[in-house]
Amino acid sequence: MIRIDAVTKRYPDGTVAVDRLSLEIPDRAITVLVGPSGCGKTTTLRMINRMVEPTEGSILLDGQDIRQQPVNTLRRSMGYVIQNAGLFPHRTILDNIATVPRLLGRSRRQARDRAAELMERVGLDTALAKRYPYQLSGGQQQRVGVARALAADPPVLLMDEPFSAVDPVVRKQLQDELLRIQEELGKTIVFVTHDIDEAIKLGTRVAVLRTGGRLAQYAPPAELLSAPADAFVEDFLGADRGIRRLSFFPSADLELQTAPLVRADADAGTLAARATAVPYLLVTDPDGRPLGWSEPGRLTAGAVDREQLLDYGRPFVPGTDSLRAALDGAVLSPTGWAVAVDGEGRAVGVVSQQVIGEAIRAAHGRVAERAGEAAGR
Amino acid sequence: MNGFFDLPSDLGQSWLGLVGLHLREALLPVLAGLLVSLPVAQLCVRFRWIYPPVLGIATVLYAIPSLAFFVVLIDYFGQSETTVMIPLALYSLVVLVPAIVDGVRSVPPETLAAAQAMGFGAVRRYFQVQLPLAVPAIIAGLRVATVSSISLVSVGMLIGNQGALGNMLYAAQTYGRPALAVNAVLTIGVLGMLADAALVLLRFLLTPWMPRKGAGR
Ligand SMILES: Nc1ncnc2c1ncn2[C@@H]1O[C@H](COP(=O)(O)OP(=O)(O)OP(=O)(O)O)[C@@H](O)[C@H]1O
Ligand SMILES: [Mg+2]
Q: What is the pLDDT of residues A175-184, one digit of tens each?
A: 999 999 999 9
Same structural domain for residues A284 and A351? yes
Neighbours of A189 (CB within 10 A): 25
Residue A286: domain span: 261-359
Report how far residue A118's alpha carbon sits from residue A99's, in angstroms, rounded to the nearest whole number. Answer: 13
pLDDT tier at A325 (50, 70, 90 boundaries)? very high
Instruction: Please report, for the domain that includes residue A108, its CATH number.
Output: 3.40.50.300
Test A88 with B114 for CB contact under 8 angstroms.
yes
Amino acid identity, residue A279?
A: P
Query: How far apart are the CA of A134 and the nearest CA of chain B, in angstroms?
Result: 7
Using DSSP's 3-state secondary structure scheme, residue A288 falls into coil
Tell me how far apart the terminal alpha carbons of chain A are, to the nearest angstrom.
Answer: 26
Same structural domain for residues A168 and A284? no
| A373 Cβ closer than 6 Å to some ligand 1 atom | no
Query: pLDDT: is A178 or A370 the higher one?
Result: A178
Same structural domain for residues A231 and A265? no
Predicted confidence at residue A276, as pLDDT, reads 72
- Which pairing describes strands A214-219 and A347-352: parallel, antiparallel, or unpaired? unpaired
For ligand 1, what atom is nearest to the CA of residue A9? 12
Same structural domain for residues A212 and A311? no
Same structural domain for residues A32 and A178? yes
Q: Tell me the average pLDDT of chain B.
A: 91
Same structural domain for residues A11 and A95? yes
Region A80-90: what's the mean pLDDT? 93
Same structural domain for residues A199 and A295? no
The CATH architecture to which B14-206 belongs is: Orthogonal Bundle (1.10)
Q: Tell me the average pLDDT of chain A.
A: 92
Same structural domain for residues A321 and A289? yes
Same structural domain for residues A198 and A90? yes
Residue A371 clears pLDDT 90, i.e. is over it: no
Residue A59 lies in a domain: yes
pLDDT tier at B214 (50, 70, 90 boundaries)? low
Report how far residue A174's alpha carbon sits from residue A177's, in angstroms, rounded to the nearest whole number. Answer: 5
Among A246, A279, A313, give the residue marking a domain's end.
Answer: A246
Instruction: For residue range A26-40, list pLDDT tens digits in order.
Output: 999 999 999 999 999
Report how far residue A69's alpha carbon sits from residue A73's, in angstroms, rounded to the nearest whole number. Answer: 7
Residue A370 burial (C-beta neighbours within 10 Å; 0-12, 13-18, 19+): exposed
Residue A65 clears pLDDT 50, i.e. is over it: yes
Predicted confidence at residue B217, as pLDDT, reads 41
Residue B51 clears pLDDT 90, i.e. is over it: yes
Give chain A's largest Cα–Cα span: 84
Residue A196 clears pLDDT 80, i.e. is over it: yes
Predicted confidence at residue A156, as pLDDT, reads 97
Predicted confidence at residue A104, as pLDDT, reads 94
**CA nearest to A85 within chain B:** B110
Helix H or strand E encompassing B100: helix B81-105
Instruction: Please report, for the domain that includes residue A345, its CATH number.
Output: 3.10.580.10
Report how far residue A40's alpha carbon sits from residue A55's, in angstroms, rounded to the nearest whole number. Answer: 14
Of residues A230, A224, A229, A168, the one with CA closest to residue A196: A224
Predicted confidence at residue A42, as pLDDT, reads 96
Report how far residue A175's alpha carbon sits from residue B81's, in angstroms, rounded to the nearest whole number. Answer: 66
pTM: 0.85
Region A13-18: what's the mean pLDDT? 96
Same structural domain for residues A37 and A109? yes
Residue nearest to atom 7 of ligand 1 (CA): A11
pLDDT tier at B216 (50, 70, 90 boundaries)? very low
Residue A254 lies in a domain: no
Angle at A262 between CA A346 and CA A291, to 5 degrees: 55
Share of chain A above pLDDT 90, in %: 76
Of residues B61, B112, B129, B71, the one with CA closest to residue B91: B61
CB within 8 Å of A242: residues ≥ 6 apart = none
Whether chain B has a CB inside 8 Å of the CB on A84: the answer is yes
Residue nearest to atom 17 of ligand 1 (CA): A42
| A15 Cβ closer than 6 Å to some ligand 1 atom | yes
Same structural domain for residues A97 and A169? yes
Query: How far apart are the CA of B155 and the nearest CA of chain A, in angstroms?
Result: 41
Domain count, chain A: 2
Same structural domain for residues A176 and A123? yes
Query: Is B165 within 8 Å of B22 (Cβ atoms)?
Result: yes
Instruction: For residue range A233-255, list pLDDT tens digits in order.
Output: 999 998 888 888 898 899 998 99
Q: What are the structural domain ranges in chain B?
A: 14-206
pLDDT tier at A8 (50, 70, 90 boundaries)? very high
Residue A102 lies in a domain: yes
Instruction: For residue range A330-361, list pLDDT tens digits in order.
Output: 999 888 899 999 999 999 999 999 999 999 99
Region B112-124: what's the mean pLDDT? 95
| A47 Cβ closer than 6 Å to some ligand 1 atom | no
Neighboring chain B residues of A158 at a CB cutoff of 8 Å: 117
Neighbours of B18 (CB within 10 A): 22
What proportions of chain A, in percent to the nearest 5, are helix, strand and coil?
A: 40, 25, 35
